[in-house]
Structure 1
């Protein structure tokens, strides 16, 4: 293919030619650098949002040793990121999981992978925007009522949407600013807590302080370890905007790994600082201190300083919502470009001046807004909807990981600039094993005292999403439309070659 590219071609021409060889025409502007691409993944992963949202639950459930889940989940998701890196290096196409699954397996598998991931992204956008409510209320000195939380969620969605509508260059700048603010904030807050409010030594990280009660600590750790499981995704967003990155086949795999390294280290540092700054673990475990984050921040920074910290936290929430919207809108665009979903004519349009998909972006704002507004009718219903978010993202991940493993066994050899070589197969197998284990942990019923449907809500919500997708596919048959390449990762000769007969 390289011989067909003129010698005086620019890097942009090379990228366009490589995309054309994959069956698509470049319509985005490649305004995103390596650092901007990494920042997009980092702000989606968002150490501050992830840690602050689940710290109280995890500490009360598993005590200080819950922090080791960051190491376990970080290694597991690094394996997934390595698999994704091989795929995006060969197929640097906008939309991420959907086009990857399409090339590795086929139309039906790709459609369902994208459907599950899309629903999870839209729900995650709603949960991030809604989750900022209590912090906004604390910053403004208001009561964290449902109305206040909804108002904050809508404000965050509007701001994130405006940034996305402004174009790739503005998105890239906003991502870098969000990364810098969150990283500096995480280091400054964590460092100050360790210097002024540390009540324990590192030995506390090996003591559960009675969190497990009389039962097995393994069960408590697995439940508390959800903070690590929920933390390590966002790196896939680097690939969702592949057609907006210069030299994506090399840069995106690197940006994905950087997201894991830097984001994981920052999240672990924040969790460590918060853990060692908790004065009374027993109060957290017993429920007397239901908000150890605010307790520690207030003790270390005072009311005025705490508001500054809360301001940084809100910046993190906005940056996270913005990155999620970018990922979801590019996935919708990729679907529509292949004519795989209702409304494809509008969803695949790009703004002639901003070079972003405006109608796809509008969907990623309106649907999460409706989910947030639904809490006015039932906060419990909102909780049930959001319960699917993380499971759905992991399901989408593992459908691609499984597709890659299947393709390898049928003859696929990653052909991009980034490959794992002979390590590809074992890494792929371990990535699948980790992902399946993480999904089982997320879905495991842990509230036997409640109604059975609440105990199984994560599993039930996943089944509902898959069932709705299956009904949609059956009735509309959108997955049969369009002529974009599918299932071509496996060489045609390997796919057609008959399997050897077993000797009898």
Structure 2
């Protein structure tokens, strides 16, 4: 009986793999990856990239100081906006389940130049985000190890996290998948345990404070304050796209990846909101945070609630979250770089497209996703402020990459594209696509909005300037090297081609006579 069941399961897997290989071949590719990533591992990859603990713990103090407790509602608003983006991506990945995510999607929906710029912006943003995550983990690891927090200690600990993440990725898809599931389990359990413990032992407020700004807006309209505080939500809700970056490592990707993307939004968003709620209700002196007297309310709470030993245990869970987040980011960045290399679209393609047959990973693309972030982290030794300026681009770059795909999808729809994958929105496709684009534009404007009038103009517009610099460098590169034209792989094939009219030749007098006869 068990043997028959195993044969049936293995047969089903074989059928899926054959179908997946045939679908990929119809798109012009033969994959070297192994489809070893289960549905839950794929979801866990997206969840650990989104990482509720990392996002909330990093920005909680800023958001509470800017907008007071009502800032928590940004999680709901942004979650709905990013769900629209995830639905658009779901239709695209179901039709084009190709490794690399936004780059191959933009290539099929629009063309080579648009795809090259989309991938360039997103790759730079990913590499910078990896640096920001490991650098953010540095002080936490320093505390656990008993180091005095300093620039040198933070850099050392950040490099340790980066090396561990790289080793896990180098061990292959199975180890990456297992590590993602472990990271998800540790993070969700940690978030629930810490959240419930804070609510049971440290709660100082009722739910009514979620509508009380405590005067955080000052002389401004509260909308202005809420928009600034809402960055905690905007910076939280990305990571679902990582599920699609590894599309060639997931069986039946047209069905499973769209599910994983939506689960990432639902479960990740719910976990982030719960963690934030527990922290808000447990901060004893909210006016002190708003006034800048308590700049580390999370550390204060953890030490009060768990003591020095318990706080270190919680910090250990937080570190697992940071490591899992960095690991997922590296996986996404390496697959994107490999996708570029496979299509000969960038300098170094000869190395980036190399593949390890034994480990089923692109080793040089992974090294790129380790070396560049390491250089950025080491750069903080020269200027921490310079590092902050570089990192300012990270979230804008990811959102910009998203919206370039959303815009490409909208353009393709208007030109006749009919999604043909296993996941389709049907009549809701166009309104969802338009809604996703409107949301993304508003979010990017919010990120770029100048909020430090006393600072020099270049600091006040640092997010916008950093985005402009990355786009200009990419444009110059495209003009000089023209890598986008090196590949003959399919592009701009989502839009149906108009049938060519047959040329009408002039009729000769002899042909007229023949017809009359």
Give the TM bin, normalised by the shorter chain: over 0.9
| Partner SS state of residue 498, structure 2 | helix
Please say if 1:240 is aligned against 2:263.
no
- Aligned position for 2:137: 132
Distance (whole Å) between structure 2 residues aligned to residue 495 and residue 371 of structure 1: 52
Distance (whole Å) between structure 1 residues aligned to residue 258 and residue 156 of structure 2: 38
- Aligned position for 1:85: 90
Distance (whole Å) between structure 2 residues aligned to residue 215 and residue 428 of structure 1: 34
| Partner SS state of residue 493, structure 1 | coil
Please say if 1:292 is aligned against 2:297.
yes
Shift of 1:215: 1.5
Please say if 1:435 is aligned against 2:454.
no
Distance (whole Å) between structure 1 residues aligned to residue 199 and residue 107 of structure 2: 48
2:467 to 459, 462, 470: 462
| Structure 1 spans left out of the alignment, 5+ residues | 1-5, 497-504
Please say if 1:229 is aligned against 2:217.
no
Taking structure 2 as the reference length, the TM-score comes to 0.94
CA deviation vs aligned residue, 1:17-50 (integer Å, no higher than 9, x gap): 1100110001100000110000000000000000
- Aligned position for 1:52: 57
Please say if 1:371 is aligned against 2:376.
yes
- Aligned position for 2:69: 64
Shift of 1:72: 0.5
Please say if 1:489 is aligned against 2:494.
yes
Taking structure 1 as the reference length, the TM-score comes to 0.96
- Aligned position for 1:409: 414
Distance (whole Å) between structure 2 residues aligned to residue 495 and residue 297 of structure 1: 69
On the 8 A contact 1:94/1:334 being kept in 2, the answer is yes
| Partner SS state of residue 489, structure 1 | coil
- Aligned position for 1:11: 16
1:318 to 315, 319, 323: 323
What is the CA RMSD across the aligned residues, in angstroms? 1.4
Shift of 1:11: 1.4
Distance (whole Å) between structure 2 residues aligned to residue 133 and residue 283 of structure 1: 26
Shift of 1:140: 2.6
- Aligned position for 2:199: 194
| Partner SS state of residue 130, structure 1 | helix
- Aligned position for 1:499: none
How many aligned positions are there? Answer: 492
Any residues of structure 2 matched to 1:242-321 within 5 Å, and which?
A: 242-321=247-326
Shift of 1:138: 2.2
Shift of 1:7: 11
On the 8 A contact 1:411/1:494 being kept in 2, the answer is no
On the 8 A contact 1:410/1:495 being kept in 2, the answer is no
| Structure 2 spans left out of the alignment, 5+ residues | 1-10, 502-517
- Aligned position for 1:169: 174
| Partner SS state of residue 271, structure 1 | helix
On the 8 A contact 1:410/1:494 being kept in 2, the answer is no
- Aligned position for 1:354: 359
| Partner SS state of residue 223, structure 1 | helix
On the 8 A contact 1:278/1:292 being kept in 2, the answer is yes
Distance (whole Å) between structure 1 residues aligned to residue 360 and residue 146 of structure 2: 40
On the 8 A contact 1:182/1:316 being kept in 2, the answer is yes
